[in-house]
Amino acid sequence: MRTSLFSLLGASLLAATALALPPKSTKNQKLTNEEWKGVSADPVTSAEIDRLVNQQLEAAKISPSSRTTDEQFIRRVMLDLTGRLPLPADVTEFAEDKNPNKRAKLIDKLLAGDEYALHWSAYWRDVFAAKSTDFRARAMLPSFEAWLEEQFRQNRPWDKMVREMLTSEGQLPIRPARSEPDAKDGASYFLLAYQGADAINDRAAQTARIFLGIQIQCAQCHDHPFDGWKREQFHELASYFAKVTERPVFEMVNEKRQVVAQQLSSKPFGEHKMPDLDNPSHGTTMLPKFLDGKAVNPRTGDADLRKSLADSITKNNYWFAAALVNRLWGELMGQSFCQPIDDMGPGKDTVMPTVLARLAAGFKGSGYDMKTLLRVICNSEMYQRQIRPGESNDQHLQFASVYPTRLPAESLWQSLVTVLGAFPMPGGPQRPAGRYATRFGLEGNFKEEFRFDPSTPPDEIEGSIPQALMLMNNPQIQQKIRAQGTNLLGRILSAYPKDEDAIGILYLRTFARKPTDREREKAMSYVKKVGNRSEAFEDLLWVLLNSTEFQTKR
Amino acid sequence: MSEHTLMHVTTGAQGVVSRRSFLRTMGAGTAGLAAAGAFGWKEAVTLHAEELRKNGMSCIFLFMSGGPSQFETFDPKPGTTNGGPTKAIDTAVSGVQIAENWPELAKQMKDIAIVRSMTNKEGAHPRAIYQMHTGYLPSASVKYPSFGAAICKELGQAEFELPYYVTVGPPIANVAGAGFLGMRYAPFVVADANRMPGNSQLTVDRDRFDRRLGLMKDLEEDFAGDAKRAVTDHQNVYKGAANLVTSPKIKAFDLNQEKDKLRDQYGRNAFGQGCLLARRMVEERVTFIEVSLNGWDTHQDNFERTKTLSEQADKGFATLIGDLKERGLLERTVVMWLGEFGRTPRINPQKGRDHYPRCFSAVVAGGGIKGGQVVGASSADGSDVKSRPVTVPDLFCTVCQTLKINPRKENVGVRPIKIVDGGAVVKELV
């Protein structure tokens, strides 16, 4: 037995070693715009999305799920576009509205409101912050978020936003302030978020990942094992950042000279060296060249160098458009054309590539207008279908149904507040104001526990014990669950003396829907069994808030 | 903070199994990974792993945040310019002296080993702290698991009601969590050792709590039809949380169960009580406990401040060693004491010392570490390592050795990441 184990061990060690080394890739990788060559850049309509997707579903003999009910739809679209749970009155009003265009009207209303900007600025803040390596950058986040909010309020085109981030020259504070953040230099967060010797490499890697959906970071150290990118290409991209640097900004604080901010600035000279693998202290100077092979004069100054990078990325670049489409589509449908959501590239597995190409072209044609894209997806039949779980974890539903996903921290907090009412702010004379306030107290802790990187594949986002403990046992939350006074339950139990009605309104409040007959029965018999109305309903409310559905977009 | 990211590499056309499913199977702890073609190897490793978990060794990391001065702790240089006013005292081992303000630990010298030749390159707090917790420098591409999380993955018992990894004290911002190893190995934070962990106390009686959980399972049945995986995962997390709060073992977090005299001996401060909590965690077979003491960043007023900090650290650390020993726990517990770097030999005009990674001190004890010795030496003026340099990876390899873990074992995230990259066991210590 032992002998055979060892020989197996020997043989499989060999196999394991072979497995461990990245196979040498022979293909040369390069970005082209082939994917949308000849594809119309005219505005995409919802009807067109449905035609294209349904065509493919029919060919694959996949039957799509049925249309969402009004209750299901309003909760889904409100959470998707504004991160908010509808109130019972909203749900009832919407369900009773006889206007055949009510869904389109609702979508328009949501896109036009303030909450849209709040929701998406929080989303993108988390996308960028997830990979920051500069710990001081945490203090810069509120300014970044404020800038993002501005952009979304104005519906600023995505290409302009990205250009601003790549070419920024601003400064951001490294100490958290107690006043409202200044949005002015917020875009500088993107470059200031990385520090140290590896900052130039991190900037290149995140530029490729977030703006182009290309994960090129493996090629920092060796030719990419599977995607064909060569080391040289990575470091040529990094060279675009060779002349941008940051310097500390000093101020007198309490009579001591201290660093209060980091300032982006340009160096007149600077070059990036690709380290020799055998002797990392030596390297080869790299000249800036984009992933499509176009080189730039290395003597170009920093401002023009980064402007050139911004041009290469945002002007007539299929991957720029496709990456954004893939991401927003994925956020709405729960699954995207390429998965993970930020891992695309020539030759990668893509579901319905022709549909992606058409949408990317349309996005470019619209001037990179994100509201237009969201509007057209939300108005499609495809988006309005009921959820369906996959049969296995990896199964792609081919957009025949929406895939249920976990709510982001902000939305979950908003939902909790919508149900239970506002929580008292952490008190005291030093109480921070505005945006900073959300970092402290219960709200701050809650969001810290529930926050995750939005680029994580939904299947890989895990719940945690501290999250469960928070909702199960947090005294402040439990206090608001109690059936007393002006608390939610206090009011519901007195306004709805019949258990059936009280159960109904509780479901409407927490899940934005009526309970099913079975759920109502189960709840009714529970109330009877407990014998104490207040207690039983507290238990029921506790269960609803702790359940999966409360945390899930469906 | 959900810091983890389970990175995914789809390999597709090359015929190699998707790393994500590889990781998932490893995480589930099943033997026999036929899909990856490494069948026999995994079997052999799993057998060994079961033994490790049964042995139930623990590691306590006493983290001195800010960078403690070696001159005022374990490498005093009395009578020299760089040594400043700090005197040295004898210890229980003749010939070994440590700085004044450490009388209790001096008595424990036979059970501890001092390393005076720690050397590193990182002089900035965040990067050095990150490196001291993971063995790696921060990267945007990889969420490195902390050393503690990696150890928990190797040694944590399969069915365990308590967290594997407990951190005592307010979490130091941005210290690495479990990285891509996932929530299971993420540090469970006890903000204040004098109180039960946040949200760990039931707000209703046990019967009612159980009743609530029963109702939850019942009512979730319908939604489970629509979102089966989400519901299953969610219920697993809740099961873990419920097991934790209803487990009799949760009393391990209650320091009121300890005699006042012992609590006084540890020191009635956050660090001292944290050390006591660490001992209780070890008794319950929690795998990795970190207790931090902040304030060592003495750019100003070094001598007064290190005196105050040393008094706390001395009592807590010494009592911990004595207490573990008395209860027969020291053999299965390795204790590490150090900060992210040391401090400059030169005393600055504000009577302070600045950051100095080039030569600093650490202390290790327990778990089979050979106590009663000093490993390595600094130069007479303290500016350099004179002999036997020890790097962070060296230290981590040594701890791995005492815990019987292979430091070269790889965990698969976006790419294989070794538990410790580089370094060699400090043979004098084991």
Whether A43 has its CB under 8 Å from any CB of chain B: the answer is: no
Conformation bin of residue A328: beta by default, left when phi > 0, alpha when psi is -120 to 50: alpha
Verify whether the Cβ–Cβ distance A452 to B16 is below 8 Å.
Answer: no
Compute CA distances B173 → A134, A399, A470, B169, B177, whole Å: 12, 40, 20, 12, 11
- Mean pLDDT score of chain A: 90
Give me the residue from B9, B10, B44 closest to A349, CB to CB: B10
Distance from CA of B64 to the nearest CA of A (A): 19
Verify whether the Cβ–Cβ distance A13 to B174 is below 8 Å.
Answer: no
Instruction: Give the pLDDT confidence of B78-109 residue by residue, as tens digits.
Output: 999 999 999 999 999 999 999 999 999 999 99
Instruction: Give the pLDDT confidence of A287-340 residue by residue, as tens digits.
Output: 999 999 999 998 899 999 999 999 999 999 999 999 999 999 999 999 999 999
Instruction: Give the pLDDT confidence of B180-233 residue by residue, as tens digits.
Output: 888 889 899 898 999 999 899 999 999 999 999 999 999 999 888 888 888 988
User: Kind and range of the H or E element at A520?
Assistant: helix A517-530
pLDDT at A247 over 50: yes
Query: Which of the four pLDDT bands, split at 50, 70 and 90, describes residue B48?
Result: low
A79 CB-contact burial (10 Å; exposed 0-12 / middle 13-18 / buried 19+): buried
Verify whether the Cβ–Cβ distance B189 to A461 is below 8 Å.
Answer: no
The CATH architecture one would assign to domain B57-196+254-429 is 3-Layer(aba) Sandwich (3.40)
Give the ipTM of the model, two decimals please.
0.88
- Rounded to two decimals, the pTM is 0.86
More confident residue, A255 or A7: A255
Whether B389 has its CB under 8 Å from any CB of chain A: the answer is: no
Instruction: Give the pLDDT confidence of B235-286 residue by residue, as tens digits.
Output: 999 999 999 999 999 999 999 999 999 999 999 999 999 999 999 999 999 9
Residue A197 sits at φ, ψ, to 5 deg, of: -60, -25
All residues at 6 or more sequence positions from A256 whose CB lies less than 8 Å from its CB, including other chains: none
Query: Which of the four pLDDT bands, split at 50, 70 and 90, describes residue A150?
Result: very high
**Where is average pLDDT lowest: A429-438, A507-516, B91-100, B161-170?**
A429-438
pLDDT at A503 over 60: yes
Closest CA to B73 of B58, B57, B51, B88: B88
pLDDT at A166 over 80: yes
Distance from CA of B307 to the nearest CA of A (A): 25
Residue A264: its pLDDT value, please? 94
Distance from CA of B264 to the nearest CA of A (A): 30
Percent residues over pLDDT 90 in chain B: 73
Mean of pLDDT values over B122-145: 88
Instruction: Give the pLDDT confidence of B368-427 residue by residue, as tens digits.
Output: 999 999 999 999 999 999 999 999 999 999 999 999 999 999 998 878 899 999 999 999
Domains in chain A (CATH in brackets) are 36-67+334-392 (no CATH), 116-314 (no CATH), 407-553 (1.10.3130)
Instruction: Give the pLDDT confidence of A340-390 residue by residue, as tens digits.
Output: 999 998 888 999 999 999 999 999 999 999 999 999 999 999 999 999 876
Instruction: Give the pLDDT confidence of A203-222 residue by residue, as tens digits.
Output: 999 999 999 999 988 888 88
Residue A198: its pLDDT value, please? 84
Q: How many CB pairs below 8 Å do chains A and B form together?
A: 214
Whether A521 has its CB under 8 Å from any CB of chain B: the answer is: no
User: Distance between CA B191 and CA B198 in Å, rounded?
Assistant: 8
User: Distance between CA A290 and CA A295 in Å, rounded?
Assistant: 6
User: Kind and range of the H or E element at B245?
Assistant: helix B228-246
Q: Contacts of residue B211 in chain A, CB cutoff 8 Å? A: 530, 539
Q: What share of chain A is helix, strand, coil (3-state, %, to 5)?
A: 55, 10, 40
Whether A217 has its CB under 8 Å from any CB of chain B: the answer is: yes
User: Kind and range of the H or E element at B225?
Assistant: helix B206-226
pLDDT at A426 over 70: no
Domain boundaries, chain B: 57-196+254-429
Distance from CA of A256 to the nearest CA of B (A): 12
Name the DSSP letter for residue B139. Answer: -
Residue A430: its pLDDT value, please? 52
Residue B6: its pLDDT value, please? 30
Residue A6: its pLDDT value, please? 43
User: Distance between CA B127 and CA B133 in Å, rounded?
Assistant: 10
Residue A277: its pLDDT value, please? 81
